Amino acid sequence: MVTGTGRPVVFVPGLGSPGSVWDGTVAHLGGKVQAHVLTLAGFAGVAPIPPPFLLTVHEQLVDYVKHLDHPIVVGHSLGGMEVLWLAETNSADLGGVIDVDGLPFFSAMQDPTATEAKASESAKLVHDQMLKMPADQFAVQTKTFLSAMITKPEDLERIATATAKSDREAFANAFAELLAKDLRPELPKITTHVTIIAATDQGGVPRPQLEAAWHTQIDAIKGANFHMVDNAKHFVMLDQPDAFYALLDQALAGN
Per residue of the chain (255 residues), give pLDDT as tens. 999 999 999 999 999 999 999 999 999 999 999 999 999 999 999 999 999 999 999 999 999 999 999 999 999 999 999 999 999 999 999 999 999 999 999 999 989 999 999 999 999 999 999 999 998 898 899 999 999 999 999 999 999 999 999 999 999 999 999 999 999 999 999 999 999 999 999 988 999 999 999 999 999 999 999 999 999 999 999 999 999 999 999 999 987
CATH number of the domain within which 51 lies = 3.40.50.1820
Q: Cβ distance 15 to 175 under 8 Å? A: yes
| DSSP secondary structure string for all residues of 73-87 | EEEETHHHHHHHHHH
pTM: 0.97
Burial 207-225 (b: 16+ CB within 10 A, else e): eeebeebbeebbebbeebb
Angle at 79 between CA 73 and CA 80, to 5 degrees: 70
Q: Cβ distance 65 to 93 under 8 Å? A: yes
Distance of alpha carbon 213 from alpha carbon 88, whole angstroms: 21
Question: What's the pLDDT tens digit per position in 131-148?
Answer: 999 988 988 999 999 999
The count of domains in the chain is 1
Over its C-alpha atoms, the chain yields an Rg (Å, rounded) of: 17
Question: What are the residue ranges of helices labelled H in the chain?
Answer: 23-29, 53-66, 78-90, 106-110, 116-132, 135-147, 153-163, 168-180, 207-218, 236-239, 241-253
Mean pLDDT rounded to a whole number for the chain: 96
DSSP 223: T
Q: Is the dihedral of CA 225, 229, 184, 53 positive or negative?
A: negative
Residue range of the domain that includes 38: 2-253
Distance of CA 134 to the CA centre of its chain: 27
Beta bridge partners of 170: none
Q: What is the pLDDT of residue 9?
A: 98
DSSP, collapsed to helix, strand or coil, labels residue 14 as coil
